Amino acid sequence: MTSGAENAAMVRVQFKFTLLAVVLIAGLWAAHHHWIRVRSFAWHLRHGQSLELGEYIFPLPWNWYAQDTGNGKQVLGRLDTDDRTPRKRMKAHASIVLLPTQKNQDVDLQLSKQAGILKKGGIETILQQNVNVDGDVISCIGGHKFHSYGLYDIDPVTWYCKSFGGLDLTLTATEVDLKQAWDIVSHVQRKP
């Protein structure tokens, strides 16, 4: 026969194993449910707060993640949003798509072709913005809202950017998130 003390010890051991199993299952569920955040955290631990692509170094804050989509293309995505409107539909998260670098011989011609496509699509006002990256000028056009047809609470704004040094990117963000997205683009550096 077992004594009361032995029974109590077995109950404590069973309770500890049960508690450990519950914590393990909850942890696995949380990791699966927030997989992109877990991957982003692991990426930042491994690479720090910057991404190197071709001749360029992109700052990558902790609330952004990087994803290689193949063929040298990278997507930088924001995990959160500054959109504090009451939630009716999905919130659009900012993203920056970085295309494989190649020397752009005629940036103005390429951007004027893009502007022509936008005008044919009904975009009347096309804005232009330039960013200096260590002597290489990134020229951007856009500033128009991408119509989500009610999918998002706030429709995002899109910019197309190119530089002579080979930088080719598309920036998409809601107006409230544009500041941080432009902050990333304006702090791009060339490798030494």
Task: Quickly name the fold that domain 48-190 has.
Answer: Protein Transport Mog1p; Chain A (3.40.1000)
Task: With 0.75 as the threshold, say if the pTM is over it.
Answer: no
| SS (HEC) of 111-146 | HHHHHHHHHHCCCCCCEEEEEEECCEEEEEEEEEEC
* Per-domain boundaries in the chain: 1-33, 48-190
Q: Determine the pLDDT at residue 149.
A: 63
**Cα–Cα distance measured from residue 138 to residue 77, given in angstroms and rounded to the nearest whole number:** 20
Residue 5: what pLDDT? 75
**How far apart are the C-alpha atoms of 168 and 185, rounded to whole Å?**
11
Structure confidence at residue 15 (pLDDT) = 76
In the predicted model, residues of the chain with pLDDT beneath 70 are 1-2, 26-34, 88-90, 100-102, 104, 147-153
